[in-house]
Amino acid sequence: YSLMAYDKKYNTNLIQTLEVYLNKNCNLNQTAEILFIHRNTIKYRLQRIEEITNTSLDDAFTRLNFFNAILIKKFLQ
């Protein structure tokens, strides 16, 4: 199940959250500040991303793959 499909179906912002999180070098506080939401909400969203994609954001290679996918998506739009 892709994050794009999940975001569309449930009207969530998981991809946006992931993009800001990765751009801010995985800093929860900076991500929460930019998105104007509580730090715990960021933690919950990241947990949902891990569950939906069956991955771990603790893995640098996984983060790199997500970052590249976001860049490709932007490029194709």
Q: Tens digits of per-residue pLDDT, 17-67?
A: 999 999 999 999 999 999 999 999 999 999 999 999 999 999 999 999 999
pTM for the full model?
A: 0.92
pLDDT of residue 77: 86
Torsion of CA 59, 63, 50, 42, to 10 degrees: 110
Phi, psi at 12, each rounded to 5°: -110, 175
* Domain extent listing, the chain: 3-76
28, 42 Cβ separation under 8 angstroms: yes
